[in-house]
Chain A
Amino acid sequence: MALRREVLLKARQEAASARLDALTLPAGGGWITRAREDALTRLRAMGLPTRRDEYWKFTDPAALVAPATDSAELLGEDPDGTVFDTIDRLKIVFVDGEFDADASDDLAAEGLEITRLAEAARHDLHWARDAYGLLEAEGQAPVERPLAALNTAFATDGVLIRATGKVSRPVALHYLRKDGNADAMVHHCIKLEPGSEMTLLESGAAAARFSQVLEVDVGDGARFNHVRTQGRDHERVSNSNLFARVGEGGVLKSFTLSANGALTRNEAFITLNGRDGVAHIAGAALGDGAFHHDDTVFITHAAPACESRQVYKKVLRGGATGVFQGKILVKQPAQLTDGYQISQALLLGGDDSQFLAKPELEIYADDVKCSHGSTTGEIDPEQLFYLRSRGMPEEEASALLVLAFVAEAIEEIENPDLAEDVRTHLAGWLDRHRG
């Protein structure tokens, strides 16, 4: 066993040094450089993941780890128009991972302090100095997440947001892509002061290879809503890490829609730290062919009477692969925990697609309510016939049933306008992927 661990670590460290040879720490100075150097130290100790890592058993990290990325063809404009376009929002634009001031709105909003990461060193942001990379570092145990440490060290851009009031107008991060080879890393760090509220939207093609870390500290009684749609270029690869901590009575709700993309690994590591905290995380993923989509979630209940939900739906066709690794860890003080987890796949057009699921519960408190379930199925022929007998053509009926299948995940979006916008984009995708 010990020998095997050493062999694995050596392979990881070799992968890391190959990658690090191709990178240089971004200039910055001051506290941000120290945070990056700390992350680099963490990374060197862990190495980068390989297929032989238990946590990467179902997803080959090679394309995410390799020193260089393959180019990915650009799909161009979304025929349904840009998602969230009809939503009144404060828009922040990144092009190939770099902040674009001209295309972005003024970074000033009541109740929010927004600073560009690339300029963070020049500002003496006390809160950010104590926050950048902190939740990522804490999230390295019990399972290592080296790609996130890599991001903390090398991300050149992103935003630092501090919410001090209840802000209803969402902040929208939109990632444009111009370069076919763009290999981008962005890192956002968000702190919600007690009682504050904000909504974060994310959208856009981003990059050929996109790495993203989002650290969110939800203070006591604060509310954070997050709705994201991921790049729909077929060949793009991406990994994202959400690290969140939720304080007493705090609420975090995060939803992700992913359509297309060769490889997506979305990790979430959320800790409920104060009594009565709530964390809901949901995702809908749709893809065909060389589509590999992995949601890996780790929710820790560290305080009593918290509620968590994980709702994941994957629609897979033509050889696509869906992965779900979801864990609920209930620590000893977390009595009266309410934990729910569901992951389901709908396989369309035969059985050449696959869904690999590893749901886990680890419970050390005795008075808890936790349930989890995972299913793989096809469209129910009885339901299909019922709809067709009412006059709906087979494809329209199927699309309606696919939308019904993902409905439970979309219902996790609190704001009805945002939910409707996501639904419309989903319906558009289904329209174009019929047959």
Chain B
Amino acid sequence: MEETEMLEIKNLHAQLEEDPDVKILNGVNLTVEAGKVHAIMGPNGSGKSTLAYVLSGREGYEVTEGSVSLLGEDILEMEPEERAAAGMFLAFQYPVEIPGVGNMTFLRTAVNAQRKARGQEEMSSTEFLKAVRDKAKTLKIEPEMLKRPVNTGFSGGEKKRNEILQMAMLEPKMCILDETDSGLDVDAMKLVADGVNALRDANRGFLVITHYQRLLNHIVPDVVHIMSQGRIVKTGGAELALEVEENGYADILAEAK
């Protein structure tokens, strides 16, 4: 069976808009096929979050070279909301608190905005409520948390589970998870991993950014990339993550030079 390219990143270079001397991405090449889970590992500061932000359209970065396509469509000129409607989703490393906006209102507005952008009908409120409740339950998210303002006063683990709930509700095609495991205890990590695994299917791609190997015991990747100084310096199978776990990055990075 022929593989569909979900996300194709070619020779991507990006620097800070306000300081062009800070060149963060220096030629990233990466292709995620539909149905596959790719992991990116790498030391702190190697550019993993920046890659995630550039892919989702955050302001503040200037792409100087290269291209990114989602299901064959060039997305670099799209607004963040257009990318979302096209199927892009980023689970933030640091989910943003929004006091004054209820989590439910937020979820419903997001779901319906994407539907509208795709020319679909809005979800009825009963349909929506049922979907949220079911999904929240599997993520062990208390109904009370849905009533609170978005991420406001949530613990680290609650914030990360809330990201996965959004992902489950929005049903994106391309899911990027930026250090969704950081700050989670083993039980919380397992919940998050189960949430991700439940969404794995042939028509969806994943890019799981992590600093540690342990998440990858639960979300077993098809491909592992090592990132350093804004480039992918090594690519391998799931065993590459174990190698990092045992020996650290030093050997791999030395070898790459």
| Interface residues of A, Cβ cutoff 8 Å to B | 381-383, 385-394, 396-397, 400-401, 403-405, 407-408
Contacts and interface: CB of A to CB of B under 8 A. Distances in A.
Contact of A394 (B79, B98, B110): B79
Given A396-B113, A404-B101, A388 B84 contact: yes
Interface of B: 56-59, 79-81, 83-85, 89-90, 92, 95-96, 98-101, 105-106, 109-111, 113-114, 117, 149, 166, 170
Contact of A389 (B84, B99, B100, B109): B84
Contact of A404 (B57, B58, B98, B111): B98
Contact of B81 (A383, A392, A405, A408): A392
A391 B98 contact: no
A391 B101 contact: no
B96 A381 contact: no
A385 B59 contact: yes
Contacts of B58: 385, 389
Given A386-B98, A404-B100, A391 B170 contact: yes
Given A391-B85, A393-B113, A396-B109, A386 B96 contact: yes
Contacts of A394: 79, 81
Given A382-B96, A385-B59, A390 B110 contact: yes
Contacts of B84: 388-391
A394 B166 CA distance: 19
A405 B100 contact: yes
Nearest to A404: B100
Q: What are the 9 tightest A-B residue pairs by CB atom distance, in nearest-first order? A: A404-B100, A391-B84, A391-B114, A390-B110, A407-B100, A386-B96, A388-B80, A391-B113, A404-B101
A153 to B, nearest CB: 43
A428 B80 CA distance: 25
Contacts of B170: 390-391
A394 B81 CA distance: 8
Contacts of A396: 109, 113
10 contacts: A385-B58, A387-B110, A389-B90, A390-B84, A390-B170, A393-B79, A393-B81, A400-B101, A401-B100, A404-B101
Given A391-B113, A391-B114, A391-B117, A386 B101 contact: no
A396 B116 CA distance: 12
